[in-house]
């Protein structure tokens, strides 16, 4: 990467209102059949354009073709029955009705590879593709077959690796696995979660990233954050093992969070996607606020390893707010780039 402080997003961006109900998770599609397929592609192109206009360097599809970052991937697998639903507690935080694993899981055909080829055809910029991580996937399902979280996670890791290799062949530069579950199930993360993540990334020549966050800005998450005290030290539990892992980039949230910035020190040597945009508020950061967060992070990560990003996905926000936040990210990063190239003033 030759760009200094390359900007990127955690992944999702709001969808246009003609495609899906805005500001809603698991929002149903408003189109069907061929119209839906065409609408998803149009939305992907608009999401790319918004990123381009905001000066985002490593671009993505804005997750425009998926209803939800975990569910949509799982829908394409066999062995999971979406009619048979059970209520489970997701990340120990909120109840949701989820599909059931009823047999051996497999991926009959690629899930996102055509979308990635399409994005590749639209831009010369580096592209990043997001996939759910194995531990976060098992946490969004009821398992009536393997009856072991670990066993199911290894199965998903194998499937994710197949998908990741095909995404790489389609021209994806960075494959990101979303593992918010790492911020909740620390013992499992250390016992087998990080190992299954490495299995998902095995043999890839593309760079790999893991995104660990405190979730979308939805009520269940903001309520949970209130219980975490004055310092959020969750990353401290998994960063030492992630530092030793083969994953290249660690994505964490820093803007308005109570994560002590010095925890970044624990992944010294890795590239770090620093969340400099809060996705849990509709206030748009000023470029100076973004710059300030990046300056603080630079105390713990070398400039050539810092990737300014959003705290998490922006799917639940309005499009205007998300666009404003993207622009602030681009403009704030530009301030710090100028400082780095001219030295302290």
Question: Which residue ranges make up the site for Zn ion (CB under 5 A)?
Answer: 213, 312
**Residue among 213 and 326 whose Cβ is closer to Zn ion:** 213
Cβ–Cβ < 8 Å for 179, 146: no
List the structure tokens of 271: 């590239």
Name the residue nearer to Zn ion (CB basis): 131 or 213. 213
Nearer to Zn ion, 65 or 136 (CB): 136
* DSSP string of 139-161, one letter each residue: TTSEESSS--HHHHHHHHHHHHH
- Give CA 340 to chain center in angstroms: 28
Of 57 and 178, which has the nearer Cβ to Zn ion?
Answer: 178
Nearer residue to Zn ion within complex by CB, 154 or 177: 177
Nearby residues of 227 by Cβ (< 8 Å), 6 or more positions away = none
Instruction: Work out how close the CB of 239 gets to Zn ion at its nearest, in angstroms, rounded to a whole number.
Output: 16
Cβ 145 to Zn ion shortest distance, Å = 28
Strands 78-90 and 94-106: antiparallel
- Taking CA atoms, 122 is separated from 51, 55, 126, in Å, by 13, 16, 11
CB closer to Zn ion, 127 vs 213: 213
Q: Give the sign of the dihedral formed by CA 194, CA 214, CA 67, CA 15.
A: negative
Describe the crossing of helices 319-342 and 33-53 by its angle, rounded to 10 degrees: 30
Cα 197 to Cα 50, 157, 201, 331: the distances in Å are 31, 7, 6, 33
Rounded least distance, CB 313 to Zn ion, Å: 6
Nearer to Zn ion, 9 or 51 (CB): 9
Least distance in angstroms from the C-beta of 211 to Zn ion: 5
Provide the pairing of β-strand 78-90 with 207-211.
unpaired
Closest distance of CB 338 from Zn ion, Å: 29
For residue 59, the cross-strand partners are 127
Residue 78 C-beta: closest distance to Zn ion, Å? 27
In the bound complex, what is the minimum distance in angstroms from residue 311's beta carbon to Zn ion? Answer: 7
The dihedral sign for the CA sequence 139, 144, 145, 147: positive
Which ranges of 227-318 would DSSP assign to H, the alpha helix? Answer: 235-244, 287-297
Q: Give the shortest CB-280-to-Zn ion separation in angstroms.
A: 11
Q: List the one residue out of 136, 122, 131, 55 whose CA is nearest residue 91.
A: 136
> Which residue's CB is nearer to Zn ion, number 27 or number 100?
27
Q: What is each CA distance from 201 to 156, 159, 161, 264, in whole angstroms?
A: 12, 11, 6, 22
């Amino acid at each position: 990467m030759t760009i200094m402080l390359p900007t990127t997003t955690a992944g999702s961006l709001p969808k246009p209102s003609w495609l899906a109900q805005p500001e809603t998770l698991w929002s149903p599609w408003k189109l069907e059949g061929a119209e839906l397929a065409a609408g998803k592609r149009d939305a992907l192109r608009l999401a790319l354009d918004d990123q381009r206009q905001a000066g985002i360097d490593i671009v993505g599809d804005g997750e425009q073709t998926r209803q939800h970052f975990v569910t949509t991937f799982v829908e394409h697998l066999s062995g999971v029955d979406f009619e048979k639903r059970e209520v489970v507690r997701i990340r120990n935080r909120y109840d949701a009705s989820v599909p059931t694993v009823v047999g051996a899981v497999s991926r009959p055909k690629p899930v996102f590879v055509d979308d990635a080829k399409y994005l590749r055809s639209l831009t010369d910029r580096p592209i990043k593709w997001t996939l759910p991580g194995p531990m976060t996937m098992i946490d969004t399902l009821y398992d009536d077959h393997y009856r072991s979280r670990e066993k199911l996670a290894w199965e998903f890791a194998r499937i994710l690796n197949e998908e990741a290799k095909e995404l790489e062949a389609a021209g994806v530069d960075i494959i990101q696995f979303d593992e918010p579950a790492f911020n909740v199930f620390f013992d499992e993360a250390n016992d087998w979660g990080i190992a299954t993540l490495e299995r998902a990334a095995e043999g890839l020549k593309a760079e790999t990233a893991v995104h660990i966050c405190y979730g979308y800005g939805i009520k269940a998450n903001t309520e949970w954050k209130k219980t975490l005290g004055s310092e959020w030290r969750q990353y401290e539990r998994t960063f030492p093992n992630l530092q030793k892992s083969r994953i290249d980039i660690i994505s964490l949230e820093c803007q308005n969070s109570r994560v002590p910035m010095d925890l970044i020190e624990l992944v010294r040597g890795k590239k770090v996607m620093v969340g400099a945009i809060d996705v849990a508020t509709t206030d748009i950061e000023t470029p100076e606020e973004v710059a300030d967060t990046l300056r603080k992070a630079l105390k713990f990560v070398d400039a050539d390893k810092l990737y300014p990003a959003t705290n998490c996905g922006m799917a639940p926000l309005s499009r205007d707010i998300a666009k404003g936040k993207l622009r602030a990210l681009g403009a704030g990063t530009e301030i710090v780039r100028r400082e780095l190239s001219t030295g302290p003033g």
